[in-house]
Amino acid sequence: MTAKLTGLMNWLRSDRNLTTTHWASWESDSTYRRTNHDLDAIGELTMRSETVTHGGVIPHTFTRRVGPQFSEVNTQLLRDTAQALVADAKGVLAMDESNPTCNKRFAKLNIPQTMEARRAYRELIVTTPGLGDCICVVILHDETIRQQKVDGTPFLEILSDAGIIPGIKVDTGATDLAGHPGEKITEGLDGLRGRLAEYFQMGARFAKWRAVISIGDALPSRSGLEANAHALARYAALCQETGLVPIVEPEVLMDGDHTLERCRKVTEEVLRNVFIQLNCQRVLLEGLILKPNMVLSGLKCPAQASVDEVANTTVKSLWRTVPAAVPGIAFLSGGQSAELASARLNVMNHRFKSRLPWALAFSFARAIQQPALEMWSGQVGNVKAAQQALLHRARCNRAARRGEYTASMETK
């Protein structure tokens, strides 16, 4: 990790005069877009793109002034960090559960809901031997980023020694959206600039913000979509101003009886709104990671989509909505079983990886942690077995990133 961070911090000595990025995105199965960005020394961003169809090439060019956060040095830091977050066919371990959420999971297993129990469980995770072989990024909670092993070694030091990049969840949770029954808005923008600066000084190199979108008869509303997309974009701009890569997480929840097709339509609309707002807030797409849901049937839907259907529909939705300038997409698990989450990610990479403009990775919490948590159950004598369960799930998901996961891996 020391070498990696040294590489990321080479931006401090950068002497580049021009930043140019080339990317391509599929508008449909028969149309794709090639684009390059030129960012000059005074912050003038010129985009030149071509839409390539069976009928020919349609050129587009526009120029706009980007925000002051996009100096040459800051731009290079953001690009380098974002690339590192999805490197080496590894993934993201989300251990950023709030204390109330962690306590609820502990209560189901009769684990004491105390700070010390949470610290002990997190120590189990960060000290898992070989974790850095499969995980290159860990998302922490404010309590966790300040915690230490029982011998006083900071968790951040342990992660650094394992070659794992630390980051921090910075939203303060979702609350009811006024005037919109059944919808939520994520809070935490007040005072965020100062908190981000503190986390950067502590050693965090990225942040995460989650928005939650429910599907119902009249949900989501236009106001709900736009409010959450705007908050995500403002958060992302503040992160990049500080030098932190934002992980942007718009989650369409699995709860409900909606069909796969209904989830597809809502997911695409959510992502369109998010990228419109990111552009409005002058967020550098090459310096962020998207953390979306997979396109899934609702948990109560009588017709559950197959693994292949989920993989195909999810990738097509991303092609339609996510610019190829984004370096990586790290899926949330969102309540999927550990095995299904791995199987669906595997099919996406196995079938589409050679055609994708962005890396498809994982940013799982329960889909990696849950078997280990159940194995541990708060007992010191179960730590090694729990670590083995955690490492097993991490290895399965690394295999899924390569398109090499098989169901037989679950029985080894």
Two tokens at 249?
A: 């997480």
* Distance separating alpha carbons of residues 331 and 251, to the nearest angstrom: 10
52-69 per-residue burial string, b: 16 or more CB within 10 A, e: under 16:
beeeeeeeeeeeeebeeb
> Which of these, 140, 135, 114, 274, lies nearest to 205 by C-alpha position?
140
Q: What angle do CA 222, 190, 177 make, to 5 degrees?
A: 30
* Distance separating alpha carbons of residues 94 and 367, to the nearest angstrom: 10
Report CA torsion sign: 262, 267, 270, 276.
negative
The catalytic residue among 72, 249, 268, 286 is 249
Answer for the pair 30, 58: CB distance below 8 angstroms, yes or no: no
Report CA torsion sign: 278, 280, 174, 146.
positive
Two tokens at 250?
A: 């718009």
Answer for the pair 301, 262: CB distance below 8 angstroms, yes or no: no
Helices (H), 28-172: 72-85, 99-108, 115-126, 142-145, 155-161
The catalytic residue among 4, 90, 208, 291 is 291
| 249 in active site | yes
The total of other beta-carbon atoms located within 10 Å of residue 354's CB is 7
Helix or strand or coil: residue 401?
helix
Q: Which residues are catalytic?
A: 249, 291
